[in-house]
Amino acid sequence: MAINERRGYRSGLVDLRAGEISREIFVNEDIYAQEQERVFARAWLHVGHESQIPKPGDYFVSSMGEESVILCRDRANRIHVFLNSCRHRGMKVCRYDEGSTTVFTCPYHGWSYGTDGRLVGVPYFREAYHLRLDKEKWGLVEVAQLCNYKGSIWATWDPAAPPFAEYLGDFTRYLDLQLDGWDGREGQAEVLGGIQKWLVPCNWKFPAENFSGDTYHNISHRSVDLAGIGPSGASRRDMGERDVSRKLHVCIPDRGHQTIHYVLPAGQTPPPAYLNAPIVAEYFRHCEEEKRRLRGEEARLVGAPGEIFPNTALLSRQPRTMAAWHPRGPHQTECWRWFFVDRDAPKEVKEFLRDYYIRYSGPAGMTEQDDMENWNYAHAASRGTIARRHPYNYDQGSGTAVTDYEYQGLRVPGEVIDLTEVQSSEQPMRNFYRRWAEFMEADDWSQLATWRLNERKAAE
């Protein structure tokens, strides 16, 4: 179905003033095709973690939008991200999920590339090419920019995109909660085990909006709460700190990142957790104490589900995971989930967390299964001709966000809604789709880096 050109993305398909978003943005194939160019070819995307490629020659095949990419460490220990496609006829040069190699060889005609991306082997280079092929020109296609942020690897195809730290803006502290040690030391996370990957028959924006901070769907998880899949056999998590904290929605409006977030009262220690497992309980008690010593007031921040635009989900508090929602057509998403632990944690702690993580998250995780079922059926029920005529409602809590939120001396930047009493808002989803619409309409990063325009105006 072609899109009506008169309906733009902002105030048309994404009408935030009315609190309405058209179903077309989830099911329309033309819109999906535009997203690949306008969103996934321009945004910073999460590719993997350096702990997945510890030694020279190690590689991990990942995805950026629809594109298969190779994250690898070359012989000189430099990290690269390459398009996984031979420059000769496009065949994948790597068809394994991960491993270690000296070269990536195309099985079609045999062109071969070093782990630094250079074309090193061309069959019949002397005889058929008469030594005239410029090998320097025909190396693997490399991303325009790569950033190793505390061990997590991010990349973009757009050379004009701002540096990753600027792309994150004030959202940095929430990614830090994911990647720093539980004791507050910088960049202590490592990936635990393999990456869980599975397909869900829904548009990629369903999980992205869910992890942006949908607290309204908690009723879906009533069964796991009742079953008590949490570490201590009660509810879903051992997180008594939630009961004493302020619960917030935090949105970074000009970046499109958003999260649920908890702030402990000043001087409050998180209640003990994991009491069924003394080694684990002692580990986290010690870490919390160290964090307060190292971070001071910042140790009052407690992470929760969030989303870095466009398709990376964070969950820094237990279960500590990150996810990528890879688009596989308008009606299918490939979900990838990474599980994290502190690399210096005792083996008993890692094993304990592994059991809990897989019980909670991933395709066999009881909580994630609830989510998949919602996304699956919501998408399917939105594809029909009649269904597409009726927009979704995103009006919850409109106009109630503040930009000067402070709780007992701790200021929280961004647009904030305190959920402690109101329970839920749709500010994070509005924030996500506002940014999505900007990406879909903007010609380039000179229009997308709206904060730079504002800074320039302020300077004038």
The contact set with another protein (CB under 8 A) reads: 101-103, 105, 107, 110, 112, 120-121, 123-124
CB 81 to another protein: min, Å: 21
CB 88 to another protein: min, Å: 13
CB 117 to another protein: min, Å: 16
Please say which residue, 51 or 112, places its beta carbon nearer to another protein: 112
As to burial, measured by CB atoms within 10 angstroms (0-12 exposed, 13-18 middle, 19+ buried), residue 124 is exposed
Please say which residue, 64 or 119, places its beta carbon nearer to another protein: 119
Please say which residue, 107 or 265, places its beta carbon nearer to another protein: 107
CB 101 to another protein: min, Å: 6
Per-position DSSP letters for 340-356, written without gaps between them: EEETTS-HHHHHHHHHH
CB distance 80 to 142 below 8 Å = yes
CA–CA separation, 417 and 191 (whole Å): 32
CA–CA separation, 445 and 34 (whole Å): 16
Please say which residue, 107 or 384, places its beta carbon nearer to another protein: 107
Please say which residue, 109 or 411, places its beta carbon nearer to another protein: 109
Amino acid at 70: I
CB 122 to another protein: min, Å: 9
CB 179 to another protein: min, Å: 33
CB 120 to another protein: min, Å: 6
Q: Which long-range contacts (CB under 8 A, 24 or more apart) does 53-59 make?
A: 53/79, 55/100, 56/115, 57/100, 57/101, 57/102, 57/115, 58/98, 58/99, 58/100, 59/94, 59/98, 59/99, 59/100, 59/101, 59/104, 59/115
Q: In sequence order, what E strands does 222-320 have?
A: 246-252, 257-263, 301-308, 312-315
Please say which residue, 130 or 347, places its beta carbon nearer to another protein: 130
Quote the tokens at residue 380.
């399917």
Please say which residue, 107 or 194, places its beta carbon nearer to another protein: 107
Please report how the helices 347-360 and 366-380 are oriented relative to each other, as an axis angle in degrees rounded to 10.
30
